[in-house]
Amino acid sequence: MSKRDYYEVLGTPKSASAAELKKAYRRVAMKHHPDRNPDDSSAEEKFKEANEAYEVLSDSNKKATYDQYGHAGLEGAGGGHGGGGAGNFSDIFGDVFGDIFGGSGGGGRGRGGPARGSDLRYTLSLDLEEAVKGATVKITVPTVVSCKPCSGSGAKAGTSASNCSTCGGVGQVRMQQGFFSVQQACPACRGKGKTITDPCGSCSGRGLKEETKTLSVKVPPGVDTGDRIRLAGEGEAGADGGPSGDLYVQMSVNDHEFFQRDGKNLYCEVPLSIFDACLGGDIEVPTLDGRVKLKVPAETQTGKLFRMRGKGVVPVRGGTSGDLLCRVVLETPVKLSKSQTALLEELRDSTKGNKHSPKQSTWFAGMKNFFGEMKL
């Protein structure tokens, strides 16, 4: 029975590169492997045929002979007789699944090396004055640090870790699952390649210890709730000498007695007596830099907003300073004496009419119209 062309078996052209031949062999071999087709006798023959084809075409000398003379050129040359077998199949697929499951086929702990420590987050509460003007604040942070007695190795001082007997120190083990050969981290040493027989008494062999540390955080002027500062290397220490993580300090600005903040502007409410509202005058208002005088014109109505330029916040990322906006709220006099009440009654009687309360007169006129339309 004549043999099929090896390039036809793998489904590749004669000009295929070594990488393309290897990829094609993987595809055909996986499709027809006996373990995947236990009830198909023809699959085993196709699998052997693919092995034979790849054994020849993956060898540069045999490939050159085959390309020139065909199957006849391989007679008696030790090729073309199905010398591959399922063992070769698992080897050729081993590198694929090693990549998927983290195996490296080499020594050490694989590609990653010692693990980086975890990042930490700390929420820092600030008063508005500290957030606007900046401050240096000390914080105490619980963290994980490298154990000093064993220098982070986990082994008792004067001793050292030894090669893992399960993986021989490479940190990886190969597992055969049917026709798959998979590399994974060694379960005995967890991929480290080393085991500790005499652990450090201070850290119980972890190489790390839980501690608290005090840090000074320089808060720049203008920060607001949600802003954060990154302190590089102040997070948890990495295992086995790995680099430390970072500490992220997140700002949370407390409510203020007088001010509300909206971006770079500040807002506040200022009580205004009815007499100052009517006659006008200077009143004191608070700012973050101290008290200042605000000139209130005569006949000021409640709710009027006064803008004090430059009395707000300079943004943390730069730019012009915001403003302070003061909203005046009329305050009704309380605990009046009889004479004061009489004076107010006299004033009320003397101010009856549209010209003294135009807004009130307009409002009452609108109300009458409203109820009149309802009767219709």
**CATH number of the CATH domain containing 58:** 1.10.287.110
User: pLDDT band for position 112 (50/70/90)?
Assistant: very low
Length of the chain: 376
- pLDDT for residue 102 is more than 70: no
Q: Are residues 249 and 271 in the same domain?
A: no
Give yes or no: residues 224 and 349 share one domain.
no
Give the pLDDT confidence score for residue 177 in this predicted structure.
Answer: 59
In this structure, is residue 100 part of a structural domain? no
pLDDT at residue 79, as a whole number: 47
Q: Residue 148: which CATH number?
A: 2.60.260.20
Rounded to whole angstroms, what are the CA distances from 121 to 10, 124, 141, 250, 289? 56, 10, 9, 7, 32
Q: Kindly state whether residues 220 and 340 are assigned to the same domain.
A: no
Residue 323's Cβ-count burial label (10 Å; 0-12, 13-18, 19+) is middle
3-state secondary structure of 373: helix
Quote the pLDDT of residue 373: 63
Classify 142 as helix, strand or coil. strand
Q: Please, what is the average pLDDT of the chain?
A: 81
What average pLDDT score do residues 124-128 get?
A: 95
How far apart are alpha carbons 196 and 82 in whole angstroms? 47
Q: Among residues 181, 2, 167, which one has the least CA distance to residue 89?
A: 181
pLDDT value for 218: 95
With 90 as the cut, is the pLDDT of residue 229 above it?
Answer: yes
Domain end residue (candidates: 237, 253, 269): 253
| Lowest pLDDT segment from 87-91, 131-135, 244-248, 303-307 | 87-91
Q: Which of 253, 282, 297 is the last residue of a domain?
A: 253
Strand-pairing partners, residue 141, are: 213
Q: Residue 95: inside a domain, yes or no? A: no
Looking at the structure of the chain, the number of domains it has is 3
**Domain interval for residue 127:** 120-156+201-253
Tokens at 26, concatenated: 């993987």
- Note the pLDDT of residue 363: 66
pLDDT in tens, 265-293: 999 999 999 999 999 999 999 999 899 99
Q: What are phi and psi of 224, to 5 degrees?
A: -140, 170
Q: Which pTM value belongs to this model? A: 0.57
Q: Are residues 237 and 271 in the same domain?
A: no
Predicted local confidence at residue 113, as pLDDT: 58
Quote the pLDDT of residue 266: 96
Q: In this structure, is residue 188 part of a structural domain? A: no
Q: Is residue 240 part of a domain?
A: yes
241 with 272, same domain? no
DSSP state letter for 199: B
Predicted pLDDT at 110: 41
The arithmetic mean of pLDDT across residues 92-102, rounded, is 41
- Could you give the CA distance from residue 84 to residue 33 in angstroms, rounded to a whole number? 13
CB 276 within 8 A of CB 327: no
pLDDT at 362 over 80: no
Per-residue pLDDT at 279:
92
DSSP string, 277-304: HHH-EEEEEEETTEEEEEEEPTTPPTT-
Range scoring the smallest mean pLDDT among 26-30, 326-330, 353-357: 353-357
* Three-class DSSP category at 97: helix
pLDDT digits (tens, 9 = 90+) for 11-48: 999 888 988 898 888 888 888 887 777 778 788 888 88
Residue 91 — pLDDT band, cuts 50, 70, 90?
Answer: very low
pLDDT at 141 over 80: yes
User: In whole angstroms, how far apart are CA 196 and each of 155, 160, 164, 170, 358?
Assistant: 6, 7, 9, 15, 91
The answer to the question of residue 182 being in a domain is no
Q: Cβ neighbours of residue 25 under 8 Å, at least 6 residues apart?
A: 10, 50, 53, 54, 58, 92
